[in-house]
Structure 1
Amino acid sequence: MRQYSFFDQLCMVADSALKTTQGIYDSAPRKSPSDGIAEQELTDDEQKHAANLMRINHTGEVCAQALYQGQALTAKLPDIRKEMEQAAQEEVDHLAWCSERLIELNSHESYLNPIWYAGSFAIGATAGLVGDKWSLGFVAETENQVCKHLESHLEKLPEQDYRSKAILSQMHTEELKHATTAIDNGAAELPAPIKLGMKAMSKVMTTSVYYI
């Protein structure tokens, strides 16, 4: 099996960053959970609100990609690195589903995605350097917070927006699986101040991306 140098890995990271922020995928994403669900009529305000929520979820997946890529770059144990890479690949489907839904809602992805990608990548790489159990701890906490956001958005979406809800429901199932996998692989419980910091950063992201 080929061993990649650190420079090779940096090139792959740069490639992944460009693809993630530009909506380019190495392989065809899975069929969207919304396929086969009829589009319901939404008012202009409902459509705009749904699009803004889906934009937040798309950016959340961009951040997840960056976090996993950063951790995969610096993770010390090969099996942990493999877990990070596999999780990142699964998140690609979520990115595609949210992007497709934004187009259907006549909206756009966040213009701030490159900034959030860079910040999340730095956090992931730092966590990987500190140690694999802490790296997995960040995964578990991130996914737990993502699940809470998804649950909140499922309640906030217009009642008749069944297509968006189908996407978020499937994402919730898979994000929960990622958190469970991280815990099963020895994730450390993050200190309360770090959890609060992550929640504060998440709040800034969701507030800004809702509009931009």
Structure 2
Amino acid sequence: MRTLSLLDKILVEIDQSLRVVHATAPTTERPNPAKGVQETAPLSDEERQLISKLMRINHTGEVSAQGLYRGQAMTANRPDIKEQMDRAAMEENDHLNWTDKRLQELGGRKSLLNPFFYWGSFAIGATAGKIGDKWSLGFVKETEDQVIKHLEEHINRLPAHALADMAILQKMKADEMHHGDVAMQSGGAKLPLPVRKLLMPLMSKVMTKSAYYV
């Protein structure tokens, strides 16, 4: 198999970014958690609007996760870390497609900022990978912790009868916890306190607030 040049890798990543933002990215083909789930009561217009905004945030979060994992995989030193990042990216694509489908069902739209979040996250992931695998893995853990926090917030904000949305977010939460645990088991290092307590929450807040409205 021919070794990819730097230009080849860049073209592959551009293709992947277009798939993530504008088309359907490759997935593990796991079943959608919402499949077959029936609502116990119809959603009101206000509830549909709220859920649509929450799902838009989660969809943008998955776009960002794609960029992050792809960037980390590109610069990872250990082959097993690269494989782990590629697998996690595939599972995040499942989330991407689940939230996209739900947005369509709700009559919502994706965030206009998705391309910026993808490439911003890609740059962060590639930089973390360059610094070292243990820090890259630690960054995965902290990122997943931030994602879990906003998923829990969204779950608590859902109407009790929004069972399809609940099923999707609960499965996403379980996957994010798994990704974080695997990262630490693979040798991830705990990030410095200012990064964990200031930088990561700030980045998460910027993404969630902007995607909610735009």
When normalised by structure 2's length, the TM-score is 0.95
Cα pair 2:26 2:90 within 8 Å, conserved: no
- Residue 24 of structure 2 corresponds to 24
Identity, in percent, stands at 50
- Residue 208 of structure 2 corresponds to 206
Shift >6 Å, 4+ stretches: none
Distance 2:30 2:125 in 1: 26
Distance 1:46 1:117 in 2: 28
Deviation at 1:31, TM superposition (A): 2.0
Q: Aligned to 2:161, what secondary structure does the other structure show?
A: coil
Distance 1:47 1:94, change over 3 A: same
- Residue 127 of structure 1 corresponds to 128
What are the residue-to-residue correspondences of 1:104-119 with 2, within 5 Å? 104-119=105-120
1:5 aligns with 2:5: yes
What are the residue-to-residue correspondences of 1:143-154 with 2, within 5 Å? 143-154=144-155
Distance 1:95 1:186, change over 3 A: same
Output the amino acid matched with 2:194.
P
Q: Deviations over 1:63-107 (max 9, x none)?
A: 000000000111111111111111101111000000000011110
Q: Aligned to 1:35, what secondary structure does the other structure show?
A: coil
Cα pair 1:29 1:96 within 8 Å, conserved: no
1:173 aligns with 2:174: yes
| Structure 1, unpaired ranges of 5+ | none
Cα pair 1:137 1:183 within 8 Å, conserved: yes
Q: Aligned to 1:32, what secondary structure does the other structure show?
A: coil
Deviation at 1:25, TM superposition (A): 2.4
- Decide which moves more: 35-44 or 50-59: 35-44
Q: Aligned to 1:36, what secondary structure does the other structure show?
A: coil
Distance 2:2 2:137 in 1: 25
Distance 1:9 1:78 in 2: 16
Distance 1:54 1:7 in 2: 35
Q: Deviations over 1:35-59 (max 9, x none)?
A: 1111441111111001100110110
1:162 aligns with 2:163: yes
Output the amino acid matched with 1:96.
N
Cα pair 2:25 2:93 within 8 Å, conserved: yes
| Structure 2, unpaired ranges of 5+ | none
Deviation at 1:5, TM superposition (A): 2.4
When normalised by structure 1's length, the TM-score is 0.96
What are the residue-to-residue correspondences of 1:26-175 with 2, within 5 Å? 26=26, 29-39=29-39, 40-175=41-176
Distance 1:198 1:120 in 2: 12
RMSD (Å), alpha carbons: 1.3
Distance 1:126 1:66 in 2: 12
Distance 1:27 1:206, change over 3 A: closer
